[in-house]
Amino acid sequence: MDLSLWIPIIMLVLTFLLNIPVTYGMLAAGVYYLLYTGGDIGLIVGQTMGTLYTGYVLMAVPLFIFTANVMNSGKVTDAMFTFSKALIGRRRGALAYVNVIVSLIFSGMTGSAIADAAGIGKMEIDAMVKDGYDAPFSCAITAASATIGPIFPPSIPFVIYAMLSGTSVGALFLGGMVPGILLAVVLSIYVWYISRKRDYPKGESFTFIEFIKFSLKAFPALLTPVILLVGIYTGVMTPTEAGAVAALYALIVALFAYRVLGFKALLVTLKDTVIGAGQITILTGAAAVFTYIVAKENIPAMISQYILGITDNKYLLLLVINTLFLILGMFLDTAVLQFVFLPMVIPIVRMLGIDMVHFGVLICLNMMIGLSTPPFGFLLFITAGISNTPFVKITKEILPMIVVLLALLMVITFVPDIVLFIPNRMMG
Amino acid sequence: MSKKLASAIHIMETAIGIYVPVTAFLFMFIAFCLQIFSRYFLNHQFEWTYEYTVIGFIWTVAFGACAASKRREHVSFSLIYDRFGQQGQAIIKLVGNTIIIIAFCIMIYPAFDFIRFMGIKTTPVLKIPISYVYAPFLAFLTFSILYLIKDCLIAIQTLLSLKQNNPGGLQ
């Protein structure tokens, strides 16, 4: 085997072993590869910056991050939390249901699981523990429900997948709607079961007038996902433009309706936005360099040949990819999966005629499950950190929820219409 | 003198890592809003807004990545690294950073040359040379090298202090 093929592989292994930032590792792989093959190293700039220059769809990333940061301020999340409490009322395990519902609402604004868990998560866990729920269960349901974030539109992982695979972002957003709602439904069923079993406390009762009052208070925030989704689904706006409109709307709501954003807070929000955008999006550019090497060395073709030698049944292949990504997702960051491994399997998926929207939604769901799966699910670390709860105890609580999420993943894998029903009807 | 130098470095870091990308983001955001407003409410499509959004976006990302480099917030795989003690982590950091510093130093001149070469091309409407659009990559590269070197120095310092505290040899 030629050494040029080994250079990206060796660099990848070194990146993992030596705690090298993935962006740096990919760029360095490009340098050493081009140095060895005698190519122009300047090409790396062309690949990295060219991807950003032509990646119109990627512009949605900083806009979604900004919307999430604005909407994560105290009063907005308070309003959503109280509204959800009033909606659930006196059911047993009310706050656990509220946790799931708030995540669903929040997912319509942020598109990020980490923003959900780290933002509103602390408030949810504190309220649940105060109400008599076990801290590990509270953390586990917060982590599990945060996985809805990038599945229900908008979604930053969908935007990146669209960029990597050339799939329509609008179709992916549409495709994520039903699975996002189903995630909330299956988690609610689990909450119903466990609340009865453990006799979790009932919620508060609210009068109709109180319900209307809290609904009105939450209304401006609740309108954000509506504006975004209606804008995209009616075709009035592209998803990127919808991101800008949602960001503008979030800004107006935070400034005037909730009055939570002073100059200093706005500056902090902007600072966090640009750092978040820089961190995620530069990785997309660096991944383009890595993808270039991988394509030049024909690695996807080799993998396809190998896998197709085993099976050409697309459902079996989806099962294999799902298992592989689930295992990798237990140890690796979502960004690594998306930028390193996904470009290698996309050509095979396309070759077998698997619908790219279906695959995009299911692989994002898969990666989000990985975020909550022990031993290294990042969402578990976040919830453990913000609540000072022992990690091991959360691990035990999350396992049944992971089983529920995996069951849904399998259903979505083998019934593509769950994903494709809406995009096929609305986009033809 | 060293205080003045530290404060000058801090100002430069804040300007490049925070104020430039924040300004670029606002630039992109306002251009986007103008683009949508003119298209749907004035029934007119400005040609220049798209280029402003793209340039604003690229500058936001590249300079934002400089700030992420400063905060060591780039995505990395720490599973194995976390298993090591202070000494092991310092050695890993030293080796990993050296590999990247060498690669980035090799890249600087070809990157500069490529960006300069791109100056012959301009954006379609505003006729801004592409070299200006791509230039922040050099800032990202330079910032990354400097922070990597700083981390190497910290790692060396850690190793030396460990050796001093344990003259019999490093554990």
Q: Which helix (H) or strand (E) holds B103?
A: helix B86-117
Closest among A290, A291, A390 to A347, alpha carbons compared: A291
- Which positions 271-330 of A are in contact with B (Cβ < 8 Å)? 271, 273-279, 281-283, 285
Beta bridge partners of B122: B129
- The C-alpha atoms of residue A310 and residue A209 are separated, in whole angstroms, by 63
Per-residue pLDDT tens digits for B10-28 = 888 888 888 999 999 999 9
Distance from CA of B81 to the nearest CA of A (A): 6
Residue A48 is predicted with a pLDDT of: 95
A265 interfacial to chain B (CB closer than 8 Å): no
State the average pLDDT for chain B. 90
A66 interfacial to chain B (CB closer than 8 Å): yes
Q: Which helix (H) or strand (E) holds A47?
A: helix A43-54
DSSP string, A277-328: HHHHHHHHHHHHHHHHHHHHTTHHHHHHHHHHHH---HHHHHHHHHHHHHHH
Cβ-contact B158, B90 below 8 angstroms: yes
> Mutation test of the interface with chain A: which of B13, B33, B37, B57, choosing the one with the most A Cβ atoms within 10 A?
B57
Distance from CA of A75 to the nearest CA of B (A): 24
Closest among B65, B136, B73, B25 to A62, alpha carbons compared: B25
Closest among A369, A330, A383 to A136, alpha carbons compared: A383
Question: Which structure tokens are listed for B23?
Answer: 């300004």
- The C-alpha atoms of residue A347 and residue A317 are separated, in whole angstroms, by 13
Cβ-contact A68, A287 below 8 angstroms: no
Cβ-contact B39, B45 below 8 angstroms: yes
Q: Which residue ranges make up each domain of chain B?
A: 1-75, 77-171
Cβ-contact A227, A245 below 8 angstroms: yes
B54, A267: Cβ pair inside 8 Å?
no
B101 interfacial to chain A (CB closer than 8 Å): no
Rounded average pLDDT per 10-residue block, chain A, 428 residues: 83 91 94 94 94 89 90 79 90 93 86 78 88 93 92 90 90 93 96 94 90 91 84 81 89 87 89 91 90 85 81 87 88 82 88 92 93 85 87 92 96 94 82
- The C-alpha atoms of residue A314 and residue A263 are separated, in whole angstroms, by 53
Per-residue pLDDT tens digits for A107-147 = 888 777 877 787 788 888 988 998 899 999 999 999 999 99
Helices A391-414/A417-427 angle, 10° precision: 60
DSSP-derived secondary structure letter, A253: I
> B72: burial class by Cβ within 10 Å (0-12, 13-18, 19+)?
exposed
ipTM for the complex shown = 0.93
Nearest to A281 among B61, B79, B96 (CB): B61
**Helix, strand, coil percentages in chain A from 3-state DSSP, rounded to 5:** 80, 0, 20
- The C-alpha atoms of residue B94 and residue B162 are separated, in whole angstroms, by 15
Residue A47 is predicted with a pLDDT of: 93
The pTM score is: 0.88
B143 interfacial to chain A (CB closer than 8 Å): no
CA distances from A135 to A45, A128, A204, A262 (A): 48, 8, 20, 34
Nearest to B107 among A31, A49, A59 (CB): A31
Residue B168 is predicted with a pLDDT of: 59
Per-residue pLDDT tens digits for B85-144 = 999 999 999 999 999 999 999 999 999 999 999 999 999 999 999 999 999 999 999 999
Instruction: Spell B114-148 as b/e; 16+ CB within 10 A means b.
Output: bbeebeeeebeeeeebbbebbbbbbbbbebbbbbb
Judged against a pLDDT cut of 50, whether residue B171 lies above it is answered with no
**Helix, strand, coil percentages in chain B from 3-state DSSP, rounded to 5:** 80, 0, 20
Taking each continuous run of H as one helix and of E as one strand, the counts in chain A are 22, 0
Judged against a pLDDT cut of 60, whether residue B1 lies above it is answered with no
Contact list, A49 vs chain B (CB under 8 Å): 58, 62, 133-134, 137
Beta bridge partners of A202: A92
B32, A241: Cβ pair inside 8 Å?
yes
Cβ-contact A316, A80 below 8 angstroms: no
